[in-house]
Amino acid sequence: MDYSVSNALNFNSHGLEELLLIYDVYCQYGVHFEDRLEDMPQYLSIDPGMKILGAIGKFHLADHVDSCFSKYTLNFMKGAGHIDGETMETLWSGMNKVSGSARSMSKSHRQETLDDYMRDWNWRKTVGIGKFLHLKCKVYCLLCHFSVPTLLTKLKRSQIGLNSTQPAFDELTKSCLQRNLPVDSWRCDEALAMEERGESLKIFDINRKKAPTLAEITLQLCEERGKLDDIGGDVVDWIADGIKAENDKWVFKLKLHP
């Protein structure tokens, strides 16, 4: 990966000040990326004046821990485009067409068949890029109709979604202003966080409070029982017994229906 990224960053990149690197596990890959470049300068090198912005695609970011969201989502990168699918993921739906034939093949035959299919897919994509560049110089509307009908359809859908959510956002902003909430300060904090990045992006994290566990609730009830009178202590015992009975009921069901 380091060798591929290093060569890609050095190809026709003269004058670029910033570069967006999207990788499924960039939260781990990018931690010591610069150190690895320094350890192998004879093979790996990039322009020292180039700033790398690391991100994780939305398809994979949903499976990461919550702390990865604000740091590596494309939502908080000004100027970053939204990618429509990825190379491997866009192959999956098409692969279903050959899955029936490949299911009964031997391992080697199946591998050759799938490789041939993916090579054909990549070849058609390469040819399509050539047509894309050729038509771009001539007729722009024909380019849009020929090359990216799926993107245009999704663009129309996103515009409909934006039009439907904009009034709600405006109403929320108006309500915050009426309650004298610091909306302008929030906007300044947002702009500063997106510029500084790193730990500054934590302002976008959602504050979530985990529900107490059964052991924590039981311990709290036991501590409260000593501070209450006899009637209050009986109520605490009754609640604790109810929690235990409910827990035992689910354990019993799980044993009956593993």
Domain-embedded: residue 161: yes
Domain-embedded: residue 110: no
8 and 72 inside one domain: yes
The C-alpha angle 66, 30, 10, rounded to 5 degrees, equals: 140
Which range (58-62, 77-81, 150-154, 219-223) has the least confidence? 150-154
Domains held by the chain: number: 3
CA distances 65 to 60, 80, 131, Å, are: 11, 22, 41
Q: How confident is the model at residue 254 (pLDDT cuts 50, 70, 90)?
A: very low
Beta bridge partners of 54: 21
Range of the domain at 26: 2-76
- Of 76, 100, 130, which residue sits at a domain end? 76
Beta bridge partners of 51: 18
Burial class, 133, CB count within 10 angstroms (exposed 0-12 / middle 13-18 / buried 19+): exposed
Q: Provide mean pLDDT across the span 214-224.
A: 73
Q: Provide mean pLDDT across the span 123-136.
A: 57
- Of 45, 76, 107, which residue sits at a domain end? 76
155 and 185 inside one domain: yes
Gap between the Cα atoms of 157 and 85, Å rounded: 16
Domain-embedded: residue 133: no
Q: How confident is the model at residue 83 (pLDDT cuts 50, 70, 90)?
A: low
Gap between the Cα atoms of 51 and 21, Å rounded: 10
Domain-embedded: residue 132: no
Domain-embedded: residue 125: no
| pLDDT at residue 15, rounded to an integer | 80
Domain-embedded: residue 143: no
Q: How confident is the model at residue 239 (pLDDT cuts 50, 70, 90)?
A: confident
CB-based contacts of 152, cutoff 8 Å, min separation 6? 144
Span 187-202, pLDDT tens digits:
999 889 888 888 888 8
Domain-embedded: residue 122: no
Domain-embedded: residue 230: yes
